[in-house]
Amino acid sequence: MPLVGTAEIVHPAWAARTGVGAFNVIHLEHAEALVAGATAARSPVILQISENCVRYHGTLEPIALATLAVARAAEVPVAVHLDHAESVDLVHEAVALGFSSVMYDGSTLDYPENVAQTKAVVEHCHAAGVWVEAELGEVGGKDGVHAPGVRTDPDEAAAFVASTGVDALAVAVGSSHAMLTRDATLDHALIAKLRAAVSVPLVLHGSSGVADADLFEAVRQGMTKINIATQLSKVFTAAIRYYLTANPDTVDSRKYMKAGREAVATESARLLRVLGGAE
């Protein structure tokens, strides 16, 4: 199945109150693994490339073109999304390369500036047929920030969506980026209030720190797009470490990267089943 628009994946899930997995790509092996996992789960998936990933590679185009190629060859619906872009220029580049959607992150700006910048991004992206996610109420964990007490106000969220025209909204409800443990406490009552107040799908960032049962409950209460990165990095690294420990003379990187790729495929398939209510 060819590359699809993000709306084609998110909107049916939003209407059905099921979850959509949005998983981060760091290397080509991640993109391959995530599509393999989605194929095994018979589920659509969103492949995300973050601004931090772009910094790691030094430029967007090589990892973007590889990920788009993997998506186009998939047997299930796959969208490619720019995650946590604070640079408007990077957003414009992603649109030009053919991304399905972008997330413009103006959450560290004051409210009026976040509205103005996000609205301008939306106008540019919508003119190209690209779906836009934004964030209101900063989710902790990025660049050493941990702000578990920050919450998104439902009335402000509704006003923000109306003022900017965004297609989805990432909200702060108790999760935090880059958590290595899965013990974050989500405010499920707030999720339900946000779902009732906001006219677009809600996005949960920092989902690696949330246990399976809480992820399922978050979806039930109104979350749709569920972003997961650190949990998949954990299983990728653990599989490589295990392989190299068991095979200390290995020098062929294909062997241990294959182990990491297979581990991510298995875990992403499992997570997609959790989000879809199958486990």
Residue 271, both tokens: 């997570």
Distance CA 175, CA 177 (A): 7
Give me the phi and psi of 236, to 5 degrees please.
-60, -50
* Catalytic residue list contains 214: no
The catalytically annotated residue of 83, 105, 187, 214 is 83
Closest CA to 236 of 254, 262, 255: 262
Q: Are 53 and 94 a contacting pair, CB within 8 Å?
A: no
Distance CA 194, CA 191 (A): 5
Q: Are 1 and 78 a contacting pair, CB within 8 Å?
A: yes
What sign results for the dihedral spanned by CA atoms 82, 161, 159, 154?
negative
Compute the half-sphere exposure of residue 277: CA atoms within 13 Å on the CB side of its CA: 10
Which residues have a catalytic role annotated? 83
